[in-house]
Structure 1
Amino acid sequence: IEVAKRLVNMRRDLGKSKRALLELKQAVNFNKSSISFDSIQISMPILNDTNIKNNKVQQQQQLLNKYERQIRYKKLDLLAIHILEAEQTYYRFQNLFDYELSKMWQNHRNLVKDQGMTTTLINLLEQRLNNITNRWRGIDNYRIDYILRNSYDELNYINMNEIEQTMEMIEASSSIIIDTTHQFSDKQLQLLSRGPSYVPPCLMYILFSNESMDDIIKKQFAPLKHQLMNLFEKYSINLPLRMEIHDQTYREFKNLFSKPIPSNLYQRALYEKNLIQSIQYSLKKHNLILRRTANNMNTFYVGNVTDFETKADRYLTRSDDYEILININDETNEKPLDGALKEMIESMNSLLEKLKTHKAIKDDLYQQLVADPKKVKIPYLYFLPNISNENDISLVPIITSRSSATWKIGKYLNQLLQPFTDKILHSTTFADEIDFIRKLNHYANTERRLRPTTLFCTIKITNFYTLDEHNNMLDIIGYFLQNNLLTNKLESLTIQTIRNLLYVFLYNNIFYYKDNIYKCTKGSPNIMALTETLSNLYLFVWQKKVLKEIDQNIEFLGRSNIFTWDKSSAIELEKFIENIREKHWNVRFQKFISTNVQFLNASIENRQGQLYSQVHCDSNMSRYTLPYLLGHSKSAHSDWLRTALIRAVCYCTSVDDF
């Protein structure tokens, strides 16, 4: 009887600890928590009289937003500590219960005197334990489904010990950067805090309620149909089998999609649709812009449209990377836009025709590269906000390029050049984060070349995609190929043919922004894979200068750019870097020299000749923010989490840091 009582009490404690853990974790999703945040203390930023007199309301609001963001960070940190403690409590009760239950069964099987149990008692005990489990499960479902999910206000409740507690609202998560004086409602902020990756479930049932189910199904099936067609082509599936697979897939898709959604999901979809519309109304009414941030994290930025566009216009005016070709609204243009675009495409195709005529490229490659005027779309430029550690907001230009006139040529050239480039630069390039830390550990701990006087230097290229004018870029790439190819050919193309194709690619990248058509005078669109390959090739010559100096001291170097220096003091290293800057003035970069630097999400430190490393956490960004992902976000986030865990294992010198 005493054993049974202990097991019942332990199961009750186990269920209670599990409920506390689940509720803390669910609080993160629903912006609520029952823990107290009174211990958090952050001083409010003080505004000087000058700012107040000048009535810089926006600057004051930025300071306030930064303060509120720091409060949110601290709350999440405190919540994480409570979750960790709750997990430890849960596992402790689980181990105690498992041990007591195992001991009971062992005594029962061994017929230990006064320790065995009758069959009736065992059945009663199992029933009692199951009742306790079911009771806690019911409590969990009630609290999570009916209190957390359906409430947006602060609420009071009585816990199992009848001690009154308050479940208070947590401010919207740090997945929002607010750069405006406009105040959104708590409900709006809660939705925005889910970030740009969030897709409201079942929203299409509300948005397309005026359309027939057949029309909705056809629209939703279209992307899957496109994927099926690509697979059919890839694996040369015969026509009858294609039709069979397509029809069966469509029937199954229609069957699943035609089922009505549960009422709770319908209500949620309707609620979130209205909430989205209210956000859109607020953005339009208060002249605000909503964009994801440029760091590819699941974070929204909200700012004033006028201020944002002023920064964008200033960027284009001051930049020498782009040049205006045509003002769309200028009636004095010699050629209309359509005529100018048609002429550019004809010129490109004419150059390709000449290459085919002179046997420089084969007919099948010509057909692959030639541009179809009916399918070409003019790329457009947009900007994403980038928030610095100093809380300054700059803009990053993004040029769409898919379906552009140069898209097919760029895709082919990258497939040709990238494998060869990677092979040449392999010895001084880090494949990924794990490759970097493995090589750094080998340098420091296996070869024991890290000395107390060794400095780390990181170099960040700030104009990576726009390094130089096109003619210089062509010369550098030609020089690279000549010095690294055994013959005058790369696969079936000569170096001169590659240069000719690159000429067509580089000199015909255009885009539009507002009322103007621009052309790229340096580099190429930053979302095209070829742009990165060409920049890596160009930096090869720049890197050789660094390698020459580093090799004299047998030091550690790798791209993207980090190296160690033990030749002399930091002052001498500064002079060395500035000398490189003067000789290669077109390569703009930021340098950081210290015994403690950040590189590839790692914080590395030289502690008197001993390497210490850990995962770097950006102080300007919440540690709990997920990356911005498209497609199957659940699968992608799972892969990201796995990568993050592997990174932490490899990076962290200390178990506590891990």
Structure 2
Amino acid sequence: METNSNIEIAIEHYVQQYGIQIQIAQHLYEKRAEAEKAKRTLKELKYRIFYNRPLLSLDSIENSKTTANNTSTTTTTINSETSQQQSWLNTYEKQIERKKMNLMAMYIAKAESQFYQCQKIFDDELSRMWQNHRNLVKNQGMTTTLIHLIERRLALITEKFRQIYNYRFDYYLQNDQQQQQQRIGFSTSLIIDTTHHTLTKKEIQLLNRGPSYVPPYQLSISSSMTTNDEIIKRKYAPLKHQLATLFSKYHINIAVSMDIEQKINEQFKNLFSSSLPSTLRQRAQYEKHLVQSIHRSLLKNNLILRRTADNMNSFYLGNLQNFQTKAKQYLSNSDSFQLIMTLNETNQQESLHDKFHGMIESINFALKILKHRKAIDPHTITRLLLDPTKIQLSDMDFLCDISHENELQLVPLLPYLNTLTSKIGEYLNRLLRPFADRIMKTTRFHHDIDFIQKLNHYACTQRRLTTTTLFCTIKISNFYYLDSHANIIDWIGYFLQDNLGTNKLEQISIMTIKNLLQLFLYNNIFRYHEHIYTFTKGSPTTMPITDTLSNIYLFQWQTKLLRIIKQNDGFFGRCKDELFFTWNSSSNELHDLLQSIKIQYPNVYFHTSIGSNVNYLNLYITNQNGQLYTRVNRDATLKENYILPYVTGHPKLMYSIWFRSALIRAACCCSLVKDFQQERIYLELTLLVNGYSLRFVEHHVQHFFDYFHAYNMRYLMDQMIYETFRQHWFDFITMKNESQEMTQQIDDNGHLIRLNYLYEQGPRCQFNQEFYQLWSSCFKNHSRLSEEKSKVILTTKHVHSLNVLLAQSKLKHQEQV
């Protein structure tokens, strides 16, 4: 490799004749060095997040906090082993972690600005040099030799800084374990609510990956499968079963279906048959042993591990007995559940069996009556009838709500597959939801971006936002348990009567729908330990029909409020359990109106927020003298900061989709470019601190900006350019919503086909592409499976997430009776 001294000697020959050109070159070298240094400094800060290595200067936060605590506490010490002190320590560490992350976000924002300025100066200088060279400006033309020397010198500068900072990464970040031992790092997701655990540091690090995390290659090292062919067969099994069911449903010729399935199977074997390298096998074994060790520790110390109820990728670790006590208290104190049977050793099997099978017979008898009356076609009745050998009794489980300061609350979670009411619930949802969506379309927000688009149209396009306009949000706290079953059924009937042109919805009469609703609502039962309960309000939150019924009920409930808001030229909409509207009269009048609604409908529990600025759908919205201002709401004190959402299936793919969606959300929901850039940095750091590589993050960020050929927008703070960039994404979302509506229509018509297979490693994208090509060629002329008539979605799944391995109930979620 050439040295700097060799290049300097070569350049000296040109000093006499090309002095000005050499000065230009020296200036370029300086600017390249400044740009490279700024680039590597920025990169090092991000690597510090990934490797959990805070800047040493941030340790002063720990010292100041500790000193402050010592001055205010005289009877206890940091090293005290009491539960109260341990709780304080946990809270203290979380605060320090968030503070360090917030400061790092500020440093990275400054480093990005510095890098952009340095890079822009260098690019401008280089562009000016080439422009003067091409325009033959006197004493500024470059010879071929000098150009070659400049290019080599610039490349050497880049290589020099690359090697310097690679050494820093290796020494200071990756391998400096000793200095990290007693330091508090960055944000962690695990919530520890116990002092009696024996988890090691490595085990805690694994749990900090969250319930979505999938320990790699667990199928490949399974003791039940010894050969590679057995592993491939296991991964392919779900897809094979789904294809067989699909071909049978559509009456595909046996020979044709076997030929198609064989071709797909061969593709799968060819692409996924590679054996697992030894290094990856070692990692898989290591994490398997960690999981087993954690499981033993949970059992030994009587602990429980549950994911949090906010659907974020975080675990709660607490005492099992306390958890079960709170669960029993929840069921006893709630007016949404009723105890119908207590099991004991003498009556457990016989009484439960009689009760359960009596309910099955009652439901089937009612369905046969509807068939006899020709209220529903025989084919549908056949699908709805229950087979006692396949119906299961669900076990209630609970997730942990940690949003309340210093108080754990529980949220019920009830699996619904193969239960007494799952078939009727699915049928009712397919019947009611499409019709209800059409009726509620004008007052419904599909998501936060849809809300921002409509609010922008109201405030900016129509210019109906005045300087005195107030914002109001309403949060329904009992969305899933709004009213008694009888009242819910009546309100659904009123909704259908008010909005149907006839007495039937798709040939099903309103009375028949009410009969089916009665079968559904009154037969949701579940078990929690030795007790059997039934719902007195609402239905399982995991069933889509529950959302549909609650949405219809609230649509009827909000009628009075909507009428008055329209009379006052206001803006109104609802997204599930959250309402937003504008108010152009006095706040006292609004308070009186809301109070009258509470009195008229005491069963709907809600709380409100009124003012010129409010939070809605995790967005901050404010009226600044008649100008609308919005941004993503990031409260620095929120517990869920820098935590990914909880996902299932294929986590890496799901987080790729989430990251892009979150960047689009940031662009659409942030009015100002500075807020967008701050949110972008927050999203990048969230992925880095949760173990996703800088390469992964940079790839997706570059793709996001390159989509509209606006990569420079990543560092720009130009509001005018940002407005154009933002509008592009609004237009993109509009087209995406139209595409999703078409997909939903296909699903409503029963022509959306979902297939999946188990995945660990291999060319997933290639297999999916070849699968779609084969499917298209085989069914291009089929009356129901062609691309014009149906849509196929092929996805991947993992079966060994930490949530499955560690956080499931000791009882099976569902048990046949």
Task: Please give the range of the TM-score, normalised by the shorter of the 2 chains.
Answer: 0.7 to 0.9
Residue 573 of structure 1 pairs with residue 590 of structure 2:
yes
Contact 1:512 1:518 in 2 (8 A): yes
1:562 to 566, 574, 580: 580
Q: Which amino acid aligns with 2:669?
A: Y
Task: State which drifts further: 457-466 or 123-132.
Answer: 123-132
C-alpha displacement at 1:429, in angstroms?
A: 1.9
* Aligned counterpart, 1:163: none
Aligned to 1:647: 665
Contact 1:597 1:605 in 2 (8 A): yes
Matched, 1:601 2:618: yes
| Runs of 5+ consecutive residues of structure 2 not aligned to the other structure | 1-10, 12-21, 677-817
Distance 1:170 1:533, change over 3 A: same
Q: 1:411: how far off?
A: 0.9
Contact 2:472 2:614 (C-alpha < 8 Å) held by counterparts: yes
Deviation at 1:252, TM superposition (A): 4.4
1:80 equivalenced with 2:105 (yes/no): yes
State whether residues 298 and 629 of structure 1, in contact with CA within 8 Å, keep that contact through their aligned partners in structure 2.
Answer: yes
Which is worse superposed, 371-380 or 280-289? Answer: 280-289
* Kept after mapping to 2: 8 A contact 1:61/1:181: yes
Select the residue among 457, 462, 465 that pairs with 2:472.
457
Structure 1 stretch displaced more, 580-589 or 25-34:
25-34
Aligned to 1:635: 653
**1:617 correspondence with 2:625:** no
Q: Work out the CA distance in 1 between the residues paired with 2:27 and 2:115.
A: 17
CA distance in 1, matches of 2:106, 2:120: 21
Please state how far the C-alpha of 1:375 moved relative to its aligned partner.
1.9
Instruction: Give 2:671's aligned amino acid.
Output: T
Contact 2:40–2:161 (8 Å) recurs in 1: yes
Mapped to 2, the partners of 1:449 and 1:119 lie a distance apart of 64
2:93, 2:184 within 8 Å by CA — same for their partners in 1? no
SS at match of 1:32: coil
Per the TM alignment, residue 307 of structure 1 is displaced from its structure 2 partner at its CA by 1.7
Structure 1 partner of 2:497 = 482
Match of 1:582 among 576, 599, 618: 599
Displacement, 1:390? Answer: 3.3
Q: Distance in 2 between matches of 1:9 and 1:620?
A: 44
What is the 5 A alignment of 1:350-429? 350-388=365-403, 390-429=405-444
C-alpha change, 1:227 and 1:591, in structure 2 (3 Å) is same
What is residue 505 of structure 1 aligned with on the other side? 520
- SS in structure 1 opposite 2:548? helix
Q: TM-score, normalised by structure 2?
A: 0.71
Deviations 1:24-82 (A, max 9, x none): 22332221234520453557568889999xx9943443333222111111111111222
Number of aligned pairs?
644
- Cα shift readout 1:479-527 (whole Å, capped 9, x = no counterpart): 2111211111001101111111111111111111112222112111111
2:608 corresponds to: 591
Closer, same or farther in 2 for the Cα pair 1:138/1:456, shift >3 Å?
Answer: same
Conserved 8 A contact 1:615-1:648: yes
Q: How big is the shift at 1:436?
A: 1.8
User: Structure 1 pair 481/226, CA: closer, same or farther in 2 (3 Å)?
Assistant: same
Secondary structure in 2 matching 1:636: helix
Could you tell me how far apart the structure 2 residues matched to 1:89 and 1:516 are? Answer: 64
Structure 2 equivalent of residue 25 of structure 1: 46
Shift of residue 318, structure 1, vs aligned partner: 0.5
Tell me the equivalent position of 1:67.
Answer: 92
Matched, 1:315 2:330: yes
Aligned-partner Cα distance in 2 for 1:120–1:514: 84
Aligned AA for 1:67?
Y
What do residues 183-230 of structure 1 show as CA deviations (whole Å, max 9, x unaligned)?
A: 754433332222222222234444548733333322222234345456
Choose from 154, 160, 169 the match for 2:179: 154
SS in 2 for 1:277: helix
Q: Please, which moves more after superposition, 189-198 or 476-485?
A: 189-198
What amino acid sits opposite 1:630 in the alignment? T
1:135 shift after superposition: 6.2
Unaligned runs of 5+ in 1: 156-166
Matched AA of 1:180: T
TM-aligned CA distance change 1:95 to 1:654, over 3 Å: closer
Q: CA deviation at 1:592?
A: 2.6
Q: What is the one-letter code of the residue matched to 1:289? A: I
Q: 1:243 to 1:436 in 2, by over 3 A?
A: same
Could you tell me which of 169, 184, 189 is aligned with 1:175? 189
| Farther off after superposition, 251-260 or 643-652 | 251-260
Distance 1:622 1:45, change over 3 A: farther
Distance 1:91 1:401 in 2: 53
- Relative distance call for 1:13 and 1:276 in structure 2 (3 A) is farther
Q: Does the CA-based 8 Å contact 2:54-2:100 persist in structure 1?
A: no
Q: 2:228 aligns with which of 205, 213, 235?
A: 213
Deviations 1:288-340 (A, max 9, x none): 22211111111222222222211111100101211223323252479432332
SS in structure 2 at match of 1:345: helix
What is the rounded CA distance, in whole Å, between the counterparts of 2:624 and 2:29 in structure 1?
53
Post-superposition shift, 1:410?
Answer: 0.8
Change in 2 beyond 3 A, CA 1:246/1:456: same
* In 2: Cα distance, 1:88 partner to 1:230 partner: 57
Instruction: Name whichever of 291-300 and 83-92 sits farther off.
Output: 83-92
Question: 1:515 maps to what in 2?
Answer: 530
Distance in 1 between the 2:161 and 2:260 partners? Answer: 47
Q: Please say if 1:657 is aligned against 2:675.
A: yes
Find the aligned partners of 1:25 and 1:404 in 2 and give their Cα distance: 49
- Contact 1:31–1:170 (CA<8 Å) still a contact in 2? no
1:336 aligns with 2:351: yes
* 1:180 match: secondary structure: coil
176-185 or 129-138: which moved more? 129-138
Distance 1:139 1:333, change over 3 A: same
Q: State the alpha-carbon separation in 2 of the partners of residues 168 and 87 from structure 1.
A: 30
Q: In 2, distance between residues paired with 1:468 and 1:56?
A: 47
Distance in 2 between residues matched to 1:152 and 1:128, nearest whole Å: 37
8 A contact 1:342–1:373 mirrored in 2: yes
Give the aligned residue type for 2:598: R
Q: RMSD value over aligned CA atoms? A: 3.4
CA contact (8 A) 1:604 1:614 kept: yes
Distance 2:81 2:169 in 1: 44
Shift in alpha-carbon separation, 1:475–1:593, aligned structure 2, 3 A: same
SS at match of 1:297: coil
Equivalent residue of 1:36, what SS?
helix
Q: Is the 8 A contact 2:38 2:114 kept in 1?
A: yes
